Amino acid sequence: MTVWDELKVVLVRLSEEQPRVLLGYPMPEVDKGRVPPFRIDLAPWAVTTAEELHRQFGDDVELRVGALPYPPGPEPRPQPVTTPLPDLLDSREITVELDGPAVVRSGHTLRHSLLVRNLSGRELQIATNGQVTAAVVDPQTGEVVGGFSGWQTAPLVIFRVAAGATEPIPLLIDTASYTPQLGYVVPAGEWGIQATLTLGPHPRDSPSRRTPILPLTITA
């Protein structure tokens, strides 16, 4: 029996018993061209599953738990920032707030809403893929420490906010850690979130602006 023959049985079992554990994996229905190592992406909270897969398959699987490799690798060298961050929204024209408190379990995902108020004298158009994805930040420094990890579909969905109006926009908040020192999930505590809005109908040609840091409570 090959590694793939053993692994696909495990993947089928996991997909049936714990469907939210697997975020990305080779389809068990396809046998052609299956040569290790096999890339498997797991939910940020699925460290136990990663331990079991690594124990059984070793280097024949390439595991990621949330945004980080498993087992933990050497600390990556800091990369120079080559793209400047977008400017903050001009609060004289656009303000944002959360549609109620944002509270989520560590390692899990919250689907929330961002209330966008248009204070300008013209219609506001915001280009999205159907939602805006938040980054989790240190509220004191603004450093990005976590957020969403994985694939998203990319349809073009335009949200329109009339002059003087307020409209909700779907907001995706995920708590996978980007920082090895924190582990695989952003731990419980009082954090912040920040999202980037594309202000126009054409994502490539429209300006981007960051929201102010908004409050996020992560629970154990």
Return the residue matching tokens 């079991």: 52
In the CATH scheme, what is the homologous superfamily, with its name and number, of domain 94-219?
Immunoglobulins (2.60.40.10)
Annotated domain spans of the chain: 3-70, 94-219
Percentage of residues of the chain with pLDDT beyond 90:
87
Helices (H) and strands (E) in the chain, counts: 2, 16
pLDDT per residue over 61-114, tens digit each?
999 999 999 998 765 545 545 568 899 999 999 999 999 999 999 999 999 999
Tokens of 176: 């996978």
Report strand pairing: 214-219 vs 103-105. parallel
Between 111 and 202, the more confident residue is 111
Quick: pLDDT tens for 134-189.
999 999 999 999 999 888 888 999 999 999 999 999 999 999 999 999 999 999 99
How confident is the model over 20-44, as pLDDT tens digits?
Answer: 999 999 999 999 999 999 999 999 9
Written as one string, the DSSP assignment of 61-83 is EEEEETTEEES--PPPPPPP--S
What's the CA gap between 1 and 12, in Å, rounded? 17
